[in-house]
């Protein structure tokens, strides 16, 4: 029988690893460790703390009183206003953004138009808070630039049209500044995924342009469109900085009411604030669940 030694290269390759080969550290996880740490400290733990606080009283005892308090008329009205603002801004933003995306992808425009639009959309989709509120006050406020210029041509949007930047439609219009760019950023890859062969096949079969859009393009884009509308809804539902800087307390939406409950003024009731936050988490979580479901359906067509 041939004696196998370590000096034999073939034997060394075929021999099983020994227990003393050393332990390999999972270094491949080090790259994503900051993400998991960030998510744990700033998302999972705070959310868990809010949910737990929604079911506790100041003494730390379990109670449903905070949840029952959400159904009082003033809080229900705040939720309803927030839902209406979010719905209006998400639907309008989605329709306008979809039209702009189709124009820059399939409208035959120069390439620089698409690159410029996508660059601006990436920046504008994250432009919110006090700077955005100030920009709209300086533009469409009672002494804003556009308002004053329109007065010179005989149109007073506040007196003649009943417009008010500190109202429902004023806040909705302000939200459109970041809703439309976000729609463009998300829906453009879906429009890019429409295969040219589908249009050629439809034309070969005698379909008109309208039939191609109605029977091919719209069914394929519909899940992506609905999913993005839901994402835009969740995006605007939780926005507070822009709304508070623009309207103050004149428009009673849920984020502003939540801020009033927690900041320590006469309305101070932290556990009711936790319950308000729990309601917002539930609504936005449900919206994101639907978004993921629609996104999964759309990706099956666009692969």
Look at residue 232 in the predicted model and tell me its pLDDT.
93
Which residues of the chain have a pLDDT value below 50? 1-2, 4-6, 11-12, 266
Helices (H), 30-142: 33-39, 45-54, 65-69, 73-106, 111-124, 130-140
Look at residue 2 in the predicted model and tell me its pLDDT.
47
Note if the pTM is more than 0.75.
yes
Q: Which backbone phi and psi does 194 adopt, to 5 degrees?
A: -70, 120
Give kind and range of the element (H or E) at residue 285.
helix 270-302
Q: Round to whole Å and give the CA distance between 116 and 162.
A: 35
Give CA angle at 237 (232, 242), nearest 5°.
Answer: 100
Look at residue 23 in the predicted model and tell me its pLDDT.
62
Q: Round to whole Å and give the CA distance between 210 and 78.
A: 42
Contact 212, 127 (CB under 8 A): no
Q: What is the SS3 assignment for 179?
A: helix
Q: What class is the 48-302 domain?
A: mainly alpha
Look at residue 95 in the predicted model and tell me its pLDDT.
95
Two tokens, residue 172: 């909705």
Q: 62 forms bridges with which residues in the sheet?
A: 56
Look at residue 117 in the predicted model and tell me its pLDDT.
93
């Amino acid at each position: 029988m041939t004696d196998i030694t370590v000096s034999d290269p073939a034997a060394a390759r075929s021999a099983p690893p020994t227990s003393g080969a050393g332990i390999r550290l999972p270094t491949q996880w080090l790259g994503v460790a900051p993400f998991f740490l960030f998510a744990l400290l700033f998302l999972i733990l705070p959310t868990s703390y809010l949910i737990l606080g929604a079911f506790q009283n100041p003494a730390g005892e379990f109670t449903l009183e905070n949840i029952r308090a959400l159904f009082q008329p003033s809080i229900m009205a705040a939720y309803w206003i927030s839902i209406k603002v979010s719905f209006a801004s998400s639907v309008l933003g989605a329709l306008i953004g979809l039209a702009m995306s189709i124009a820059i992808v399939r409208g035959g425009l120069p390439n620089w138009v698409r690159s410029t639009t996508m660059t601006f959309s990436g920046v504008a989709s994250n432009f919110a808070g006090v700077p955005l509120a100030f920009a709209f006050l300086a533009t469409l406020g009672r002494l804003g630039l556009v308002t004053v210029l329109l007065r010179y041509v005989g149109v007073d949007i506040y007196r003649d049209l009943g417009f008010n930047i500190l109202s429902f439609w004023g806040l909705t219009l302000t939200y459109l500044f970041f809703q439309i760019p976000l729609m463009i950023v998300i829906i453009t890859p879906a429009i890019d995924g429409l295969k040219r062969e589908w249009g050629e096949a439809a034309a070969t079969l005698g379909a008109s342009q309208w039939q191609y859009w109605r029977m091919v393009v719209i069914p394929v884009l519909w899940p992506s469109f609905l999913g993005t509308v839901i994402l835009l809804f969740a995006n605007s539902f939780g926005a507070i900085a822009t709304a508070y800087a623009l309207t103050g307390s004149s428009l009673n939406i849920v984020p502003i009411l939540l801020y009033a409950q927690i900041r320590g003024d006469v309305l101070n009731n932290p556990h009711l604030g936790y319950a308000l936050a729990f309601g917002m988490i539930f609504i936005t979580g449900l919206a994101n669940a639907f978004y993921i479901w629609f996104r999964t359906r759309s990706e099956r067509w666009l692969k």
